[in-house]
Structures are given as structure tokens and as C-alpha cells.
Amino acid sequence: MGGLTNLSGCELVALASIIAIKISEGLTADETDTLGNFFSALGSNLSTIAGTI
């Protein structure tokens, strides 16, 4: 994961956008929404864990 810490904020935004576009290809709107909600929950949980370490 060390590679991600070397990226600038703009590079992280661009990378996240590219990954989101690739993941969503071929999915329905409902599937994309469900996956987006899952990743939001995952991010929130990771932030909570990081705050307690």
C-alpha cells in the first residue's frame, strides 16, 4: 500500500475515478449504487479503525 501514499491528492482522485468507471462497466444502476454504498461503508469503517489505533 506504500504506493498510494506517494500519490498527490489530484492523482488519488484521478485513480479513484478510473477505478470507479472500470468497476461500473456492465453493471445496472442498482448494482452500481449497492457497490458504491458498500465502498462508502468500507471507507468509513477503515477511518474508524484508524482513529482507534
For residue 4, is pLDDT > 90?
no
Cα 53 to Cα 2, 44, 45, 46, distances in angstroms: 19, 15, 13, 11
DSSP state of 7: S
pLDDT, residue 31, reads 98
Alpha-carbon 10 to chain mean position: 14
pLDDT, residue 53, reads 85
Mean predicted confidence (pLDDT) in 8-13 = 95
- Say if CB 7 and CB 15 are below 8 A apart: yes
Rounded-to-integer distance, Cα 29 and Cα 51, Å = 33
The per-residue pLDDT for range 24-38, each reduced to its tens digit, is: 999 999 999 999 999
Rounded-to-integer distance, Cα 4 and Cα 1, Å = 6
